[in-house]
Amino acid sequence: MKIAAVMLALVVVMRTGAQDMPAMKAANDLFARSDWAKAAQAYAEITVKDPGNGLAWQNLGESNLQLKKYGPAAEAFRHAEQLKFRLPINRVNLARVAAARGDRAAAFAQLHEIAATGQGNRVRPYILTSPEFVPLQQSPQYKQLLQEIAPCRAAEYRQFDFWVGDWEVRDPSGSKVLGANRVTLEQDGCLIIEHWTSARGGQTGTSFNYYDIRDSKWRQLYLDNSGNAGAFPAMSGSLKDNRMVLLSDEMASPVFRWTWYVISPGRVRQMAERSDDGEKTWRVTWDSVYVKKNPTKKNAAN
| Bridge-based pairing state of the strands 255-264 and 165-170 | unpaired
From CA 56, how far away is CA 111, in angstroms rounded? 23
Q: For position 16, what pLDDT does the model report? A: 43
Per-residue pLDDT of the chain (302 residues; tens, 9 = 90+): 455 444 544 444 443 445 558 999 999 999 999 999 999 999 999 999 999 999 999 999 999 999 999 999 999 999 999 999 999 999 999 999 999 999 999 999 999 999 998 889 889 999 999 999 999 999 999 999 999 999 998 899 999 999 999 999 999 998 999 999 999 999 999 999 999 999 988 899 999 999 999 999 999 999 999 999 888 999 999 999 999 999 999 999 999 999 999 999 999 999 999 999 999 999 999 999 999 997 555 444 44
53-to-74, 85, 214 alpha-carbon distances in Å: 16, 9, 29
| Strand, coil or helix: 40 | helix
Structural domains in the chain plus CATH codes: 3-148 (1.25.40.10), 156-292 (2.40.128)
Q: How confident is the model at residue 10, as a pLDDT?
A: 44
Instruction: Give 95-163 as a DSSP string.
Output: HHHHHHHT-HHHHHHHHHHHHHTT-HHHHHHHHHH-GGGGGGTTSHHHHHHHHHT-SS-SGGGGTTGGG
Helix (H, G, I), strand (E, B) or coil at 204: strand
What pLDDT score was predicted for residue 4?
Answer: 41
Phi and psi torsions of 228, nearest 5°: -100, 95
> Could you give the residue ranges of the DSSP H alpha helices within the chain?
3-10, 22-32, 36-49, 54-66, 70-82, 87-101, 104-116, 120-129, 140-148
What local confidence, expressed as pLDDT, does residue 9 receive? 44
Query: CB burial class (10 A; 0-12, 13-18, 19+) of residue 147?
Result: exposed
